[in-house]
């Protein structure tokens, strides 16, 4: 929520903000028609809506399906507990305009206290473009195309990142007379180191997926496939590794690391102890110990 609030205040409308720059202006491949299925008629105007249709997709807000720019899909079956945040601002290539940011903030707010969601994957439905947010559960950004300027800043706001080798990433604001203004100048040094972050921001250089994984900007990179969703598939694979783990323990581990990074080591150890203490009385901690003693897989319920 902090990232989105800062971005909305600083950048405002699409015409003022850099956002995820249009691929047309950057030499990216042209866009294709986006086909969506299973759209529900919403019961009211301008109000959040949660519900599932045959495709298990929740469509947010407003009067018409065309106005949906950020959507939520809850996976089911063995993937129950994974939620996809779908960025589908087709005409503007996921540029971070007022409606986009507003819908993203509302969706993130709805997820914040949703204990049924254990991992969130952010992906773009606009081919070739990626354009998360502060959530208690792990978040994964899947970068299958361009993530430039605000697009990369969104990806940096996630805990983990996957990318296609052909993806293009960079904080290119200095090439447009700007500087990263939605957290990029702070998050990039924490991801790749101070000197390298300065080099990337000062030059506005773009890097592909393989270079990004080499420098620690993304966790995993893979060859693009014919469907153009290789990074998403890799993100889903990563989410599936997280899914069986104790959700409260995972959330507390995230909080300990995130808060600990901002303070000295002594304070960080105190934060770790506080997070550890919050896990001790949980039923999941008891289940984990019982499963270990009984030599069976644990069955965590998030309590």
Q: Are 108 and 126 in contact (CB under 8 A)?
A: no
Neighbours of 31 (CB within 10 A): 16
Which mean pLDDT values do the consecutive 10-residue runs of the chain (303 residues) have?
46 32 30 25 28 35 58 91 83 60 84 90 67 79 90 91 94 92 89 94 94 95 92 95 95 95 93 95 95 94 91
Query: What's residue 35's pLDDT?
Result: 24
Q: How far apart are CA 197 and CA 278, in angstroms?
A: 35
DSSP string, the chain: -HHHHHHHHHH-STTT---B--HHHHTPPPP-------PPPPSSSSS------TT-EEPPSSS-GGG--EEEEE--GGGTTEEEEEE--TTTTT---HHHHHHHHHHHHHHHT-TT--EEEEEESSTTB------SS-EEEEESSEEEBHHHHHHHTSSEEEEETT-EEE--GGGGT----SSHHHHHHHHH-HHHHHHHHHHT--EEHHHHHHTTSSSEEE---TTS-HHHHHHHHHHHHHTTS-HHHHHHHHHHHHHHTTS-HHHHHHHHHHHHHHHTTSHHHHHHHHHHHHTS-------
Query: What's residue 172's pLDDT?
Result: 92
DSSP string, 63-93: S-GGG--EEEEE--GGGTTEEEEEE--TTTT
Q: How far apart are CA 57 and CA 69, in angstroms?
A: 14
Query: What's residue 112's pLDDT?
Result: 87
Active site (catalytic) residues = 153, 173
Could you tell me the strand order of the sheet in which 168-170 lies?
146-148, 168-170, 207-208
Q: How far apart are CA 118 and CA 192, in angstroms?
A: 27
Q: Are 60 and 70 in contact (CB under 8 A)?
A: yes
- Let me know if 219 is exposed, middle or buried by CB neighbors in 10 A (0-12, 13-18, 19+): middle
Tell which residue, 271, 247, 245, 277, has the closest CA to residue 257.
271
Q: How far apart are CA 166 and CA 223, in angstroms?
A: 7
pTM: 0.73
Could you tell me the strand order of the sheet in which 119-124 lies?
57-58, 70-74, 82-87, 119-124, 139-143, 160-164, 220-222
Q: How far apart are CA 260 and CA 269, in angstroms?
A: 8
């Amino acid at each position: 929520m902090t990232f989105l609030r800062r971005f909305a205040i600083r950048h405002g409308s699409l015409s003022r903000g850099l956002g995820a720059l249009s691929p047309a202006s950057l030499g990216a491949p042209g866009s294709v028609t986006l086909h969506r299925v299973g759209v529900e008629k919403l019961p009211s105007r301008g109000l959040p809506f949660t519900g599932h249709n045959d495709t298990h997709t929740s469509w947010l807000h407003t009067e018409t399906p065309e106005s949906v720019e950020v959507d939520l899909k809850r996976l089911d079956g063995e993937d129950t507990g994974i939620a996809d945040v779908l960025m589908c601002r087709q005409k503007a290539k996921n540029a971070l305009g007022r409606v986009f940011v507003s819908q993203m903030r509302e969706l993130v707010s709805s997820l914040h206290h949703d204990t049924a969601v254990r991992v969130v994957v952010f992906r773009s439905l606009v081919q070739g473009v990626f354009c998360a947010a502060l959530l208690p559960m792990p978040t994964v950004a899947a970068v299958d195309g361009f993530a430039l300027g605000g697009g990369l800043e969104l990806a940096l706001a996630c805990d983990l990142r996957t990318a296609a080798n052909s993806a293009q990433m960079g904080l290119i604001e200095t090439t447009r007379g700007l500087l990263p203004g939605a957290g990029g100048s702070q998050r990039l040094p924490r991801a790749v180191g101070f000197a390298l972050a300065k080099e990337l921001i000062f030059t506005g250089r773009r890097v592909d997926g393989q270079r990004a994984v080499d420098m620690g900007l993304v966790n995993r990179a893979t060859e693009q496939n014919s469907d153009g969703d290789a990074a998403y598939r890799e993100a889903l694979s990563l989410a599936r590794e997280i899914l069986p783990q104790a959700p409260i323990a995972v959330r507390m581990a995230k909080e300990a690391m995130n808060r600990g990074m901002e303070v000295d080591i002594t304070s960080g150890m105190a934060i770790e102890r506080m997070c550890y203490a919050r896990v001790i009385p949980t039923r999941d901690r008891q289940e984990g110990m019982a499963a270990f003693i009984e030599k069976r897989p644990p069955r965590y319920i998030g309590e």
